[in-house]
Amino acid sequence: MTALAPAARSTTSRPPTPPSPAPAAPAALPTPREGLERPEPPELAVLDDPLERDRCTRWVVDAAGLHLGESSLQLGGLHCAACAGLIEQALGRVAGVRQVRVAAASQRATVLWDPTRTRASALVQAVRAAGYEAVPDAAAPARAWRRREFRTALWRLFVAAFCAMQVMMFAAPGYLARPGEMAPSLRQLLNWGSWVLTLPVLAFAVGPFFAGAGRALRQGRIGMDLPVAIAIVVTFVASTGATFDPGGPFGREVYFDSLTMFVAFLLGGRFVELQARHRAAQSLEGALARLPETAQRLAADGRITVVSVQRLQPGDRVRVALGQAFPADGPVLEGRSAADESLLTGESVPVPKQPGDAVVAGSINVGAPVLVRVERVGDDTRHAAIVAMMRDALSQRPAAARLADRWAGPFLGAVLLLAAATAAYWSVVDPSRALAAAVAVLIVTCPCALSLAAPAALVAAVGGLARRGVLVQRLDAVEALARMRHLFIDKTGTLTEDRPVWRDTVAPSAGAGAGDDRPHGRPGPTDFDAQAASLAAWSQHPLARALAAALPASARAWRAIEECPGQGLRGLDEAGIEWRLGSAAWTGAASRDDVQVWLARGAQVLAGYRFDETVREGAAQAVAALRSAGLRLTLLSGDAPARAARLAERLGIAEVIAQASPEAKLAALAAAQRPGAPVGMVGDGVNDAPVLARADVSLAMGQGALVARAQADAVIVSNRPLDLVRARATACRALRIVRQNLAWAVLYNALAIPLALTGSLPPWAAGLGMAGSSLLVVLNALRAGR
């Protein structure tokens, strides 16, 4: 097992040498230099407490030997890629901040800072001063903040949708009545009712758009919310003027229906995105659930004290009971056991542990109680390093986000200039039509249909996938899944079940104790198999259970049964002869890589037993379907090369990377991404989490580690490999529908914008056209979920 320790900037793998201890956090924060920062508010001072600070901060050393803090913050209030840039600027202005990475998709910031010049609380204060929310990346405050954000977003959507339905009812008679059929007093009454119902939308529901526009303006930038806010204000002002003074400069046409419906559409899309982000964040909170919260520390006088794992120090001795997770990295001092490391290393068979063997934090003790000396704790453990690699991958902003940042400002500026130019032109040609034309341009250019073209189809596809047992956590993953050309597949837990199965029995060579490759014939060896199955029934070891389940057991009455964890078990038959079942060293057989269990009677080795993993139902068909679809497949495994190659040959996968550490997996995927083609990953273990976070599209099996499921774009809850094939087919269909929706939205805007510019499209027609275009896009998008 390759040791892993976090480095100062852990973006590349270390050579497989014993890691040096990670830099410890300063015992107390140094006093920031005088005048470099403002004193933080009292409610933020608690963030500078060492225990609270270290929950979201790891300590690294730069090239000059200076201790730096790398803190993770959970952000709130982000609605687009431009928000990430504003937060990066706000944090970058804090004295002592060395580097900032903000990922809008996961709403997470990673900040590298100098504790001699600033404090953790100053980082949160800077984000809040920029108009956003930030809390340490810890479960309790983030969870409470998400609940508040969810409730507020739901109320905003409810108010906008409810008022929009009522306003549409008031506006319908005006659209349906023939000229002169509706009395002016009745029309005026309906306008007043629409105005009253629009007030809650303006006072409460549109808050995010105005707040986003204000933040962008304070930063000297044009945000995506600015044209929306201007359209809302202008439409409401013009409609209010027409309501109060039908014969005045605003005319007599009102657009409350277009306004409220437009707001409801946008809030609905943002609410869907909010739910997806919250689901991912909730899963991430369980990333460290595999580590215990407490440990049994053994004092020098032999007393056992239950302490928090955060209080463990290198050199402590801890007792780990059967079934518990190891709280830290270190060697076994007393006892023999086995550790289930499948979710950390990908190894499907529990690893025997005896005095001197190293255990990994987060692995499960499945053999017997042991005493362990603590060598690495906290950020220095392998488990914490994997999580840190995962966070680094999440913090990297994709090229698409940088491209959106570059073009968002010019596009939005062009939209505003177009509306202003329209108003100026008609103010000269025909002042009575200037306001109506400008409002029509703002409504037409508001990208409602364009903004719904992709999300509506992707949401429908996500709903269809959920009904088929695939839960998608990131909408963009549907498009990436459809465009994927190279797929990395983890072996254990993905293509195979997490339990071994007996393959065959081999006979030892005469006098040598070493087995050959010839399976036993019948009927002679049948008795050996029956004795092995009978003895194996006394053990709970996975290999023993697989042997007992596969072979018929004899009725022999065993006595003096004894099991030695990590070695095997022994028992006496009716004649008092000792039988042993277990490892080669335990039975006296010559060791062989492909034989895991041996049976011996006295000093005579009788038989060896080989095991395979159980291939998941449908795995072969799934691999064949993916290959026929033109995908390049690569098998990733932490298992031995022979075992991984055997499974790859059985399933028809040409490329295999065996004995792969998390660093090796991440490096292989990064190399595959360099040509630019989308690369996917399917996995289930904690060791897969960094690769899942880095992949263009990632899927995790439903029974896998929480940290893997948190970083995956989608979770295959059914655990059926064939559902991966169905998911990609659904994604391809959704992408075709997205193209159709985009084509229609572009066609609508190409026709409507010239009409609005020439004053031939009144605002009510622009609003109606926008609503009709959006409805057509949504109805077409629903086909993606079938």
Residue 608 in 3-state DSSP? strand
Tell me the CA end-to-end span of the chain in Å, nearest whole number: 46
Contact 98, 131 (CB under 8 A): no
Count of C-beta atoms within a 10 Å radius of residue 333: 15
- Which DSSP helix (H) or strand (E) runs through 221? none
Count of C-beta atoms within a 10 Å radius of residue 379: 21
**Alpha carbons 336 and 357: distance in angstroms, whole number:** 10
**DSSP track, 12-43:** SPPPSSPPPPPPPPPSSPPPPPTTSSPPPPHH
What is the four-CA torsion angle of 305, 309, 310, 313, rounded to 10 degrees?
70
What is the four-CA torsion angle of 691, 694, 695, 698, rounded to 10 degrees?
70
Question: Would you state the structure tokens that stand for residue 633, as one six-digit string?
Answer: 């497949």
Pairing of strands 714-716, 697-701: parallel
Give yes or no: 490 in active site: yes
Contact 705, 291 (CB under 8 A): no
Contact 110, 391 (CB under 8 A): yes
Count of C-beta atoms within a 10 Å radius of residue 151: 10
User: What letter would DSSP give residue 46?
Assistant: G
**Alpha carbons 506 and 519: distance in angstroms, whole number:** 5
Residue 487 in 3-state DSSP? strand
Please give the sequence-ordered ranges of beta strands (E in DSSP) within 300-426, or none if there are none.
304-308, 317-320, 330-334, 337-340, 351-353, 358-359, 364-365, 370-373
Residue 591 in 3-state DSSP? coil
Q: From 356, 365, 352, 343, select the one nearest 296 (Cα to Cα).
A: 365
Residue 369 in 3-state DSSP? coil
Residue 158 zone, left/alpha/beta (φ > 0; ψ -120 to 50; rest) = alpha
Question: Would you state the structure tokens that stand for residue 305, as one six-digit string?
Answer: 């004290």
Pairing of strands 133-136, 294-298: unpaired
How far, in Å, are 85, 406, 576, 680, 696 from residue 482 at the CA level? 29, 26, 66, 10, 11
What is the four-CA torsion angle of 366, 368, 370, 375, rounded to 10 degrees?
-10
Which ranges in 484-554 belong to alpha helices (H)? 526-536, 542-550
Q: How many residues in the chain?
A: 786
Active-site annotation holder among 257, 490, 639, 688: 490
Contact 493, 684 (CB under 8 A): yes
How far, in Å, are 165, 181, 254 from residue 187 at the CA level? 18, 10, 10
Q: From 100, 75, 101, select the one nearest 281 (Cα to Cα).
A: 75
**For 270, phi and psi rounded to 5 degrees?**
-70, -30
Residue 322 zone, left/alpha/beta (φ > 0; ψ -120 to 50; rest) = beta
Pairing of strands 358-359, 294-298: unpaired
Contact 599, 605 (CB under 8 A): yes
How far, in Å, are 125, 477, 483, 715 from residue 782 at the CA level? 43, 18, 21, 22
What residues pair up with 684 in beta bridges, in sequence order?
none
Which residues are known to be catalytic? 490
